[in-house]
Amino acid sequence: MAVNHDIVAPASSGSLTDGVRRFFREFAFQDWLVVLFLSTLSTAVLLAPPSAARSKSLSDVLTLVTVFSITLVLIRGSLVKHGVAAPLLYRLGMFGPVQLSYFILAGLLPVVNPGNLDEQLYQLDLRFLGVEPAVLLDNFVGPTSSEWFAFFYFSYFFLLALHVLPMLFFVRQRRLMNEFTLGMIMLVCTVHVTYMIVPGFGPIRHLTFANELPSGMWHDIVINTVNSGGAQKDIFPSLHTAGPSFCALFSFRHRDKLPFKFTWPIVTFFALNIIVATMYMRWHWAIDVVVGLSLAYALSVLVPRISAWELKRREAKGLMEIWPRFSRASESAQTSLSSSAH
């Protein structure tokens, strides 16, 4: 079959009202979720007192809103249908703003909530545990243990990348892809919004420790990464806990399939070490970790149901796929899910 290289489809001859209705009817659950997420960020910044930092944060948020909005218009509006351009555009313009929102939080969080709740979080740990894990782990500080946990803390980025990128660009099983990506989107959106409600710096800034974490290759990499690109007040809940835990639970749930049949024990091992590392490195309170674990578990239960409902709904109504498929031939954006939902 010849490849159609036309990127933009001709405008519809239908009425504007019908076009708008079709446009919103094509929205997926995750589209509405990101609309809500970006609207929340925008509203939080707009409600903050005027300042140069507020103006910068508003500009950052509006950039994400613009990219996402243009993506929705082009894809859900069926303006771009090319078998490569459409799926690539949607992945970058939809998933991208959600992930990139982290990099604007360093400036945004102090604007929308200048305080911190470290003392309250610390007291919660003492009330329910009797001891702060970061303080307890201070007794085991040494060059070997520090490098061990610093390595696993940094491995968080690789663990997520090794799951997210294949799911977005290589997995052909629609149900598997939709379930994982929806879970990650819900997880990141929930965590980033909660950062604004419960800000804090963690034990590393709030407490005094007997032992200083020794310098080492991985320790220095982590410190430099956090100082240069971290959001600083992003502790509750622990995304370093929730993300790997969700990947581990997802892998275990699908252990009857490749590659999860072999990778789930490895992912679980890494997730457990990353969780301990968040407290050993003194970034998180215990309550941050508990809530992160709870969020990952809740999503692992809810997301398969939401994903199945969404796929069934779109198939029944003949709507376009949630994630446009990569194809050598240009495909209509109105393609039914019936051939790919199974």
pLDDT 10s digits, 39-82: 999 999 999 999 999 999 999 999 999 999 999 999 999 999 99
User: What pTM, to 2 d.p., does this model score?
Assistant: 0.90
Residues of the chain above pLDDT 70, percent: 92
Q: Which of 69-73, 231-235, 333-337 has the lowest mean pLDDT?
A: 333-337
Give residue-wise pLDDT tens across range 138-165.
Answer: 999 999 999 999 999 999 999 999 999 9
Give the per-residue pLDDT at 146: 98
Higher pLDDT, 230 or 244: 244
Average of pLDDT values for 98-123? 96
pLDDT band at 328 (very low <50, low <70, confident <90, very high): confident
CA distance 36 to 33: 5
HEC string of 101-133?
Answer: HHHHHHHHHHHHCCCCCHHHHHHHHHHHHCCCH
Q: Residue 329 — pLDDT band, cuts 50, 70, 90? A: low
Asked if residue 332 has pLDDT above 90, the reply is no
Question: Is residue 331 pLDDT above 70, yes or no?
Answer: no
Helix 286-317 and helix 174-197, axial crossing angle in degrees, nearest 10: 140
Q: What is the per-residue pLDDT for 201?
A: 96
Q: Kindly state the percentage of the chain with pLDDT values over 90.
A: 87
- Look at residue 336 in the predicted model and tell me its pLDDT: 41
Task: Please compute the mean of the pLDDT values over residues 267-285 and round it to a whole number.
Answer: 98
The per-residue pLDDT of the chain, averaged, comes to 92
**Taking residues 264-277, what's their average pLDDT?**
98
Q: Is the pLDDT of residue 246 over 70?
A: yes
Nearest residue to 243 via CA among 79, 150, 234: 234
Contacts 24+ apart (CB under 8 A), 134-138: 134/203, 134/204, 134/207, 134/209, 134/279, 134/280, 134/282, 134/284, 134/285, 135/203, 135/207, 135/209, 137/276, 137/279, 137/280, 138/209, 138/210, 138/211
pLDDT at 341: 43
Q: What is the mean pLDDT of residues 21-50?
A: 97
> What is residue 134's predicted lDDT score, i.e. its pLDDT?
98
Q: Look up residue 14 and give its two tokens.
A: 């239908």
Distance CA 338, CA 342 (A): 8
Question: 340: pLDDT confidence band, cut at 50, 70 and 90?
Answer: very low
Which of 8-17, 118-127, 189-198 bottoms out in mean pLDDT, i.e. has the lowest?
8-17
pLDDT value of position 342: 44
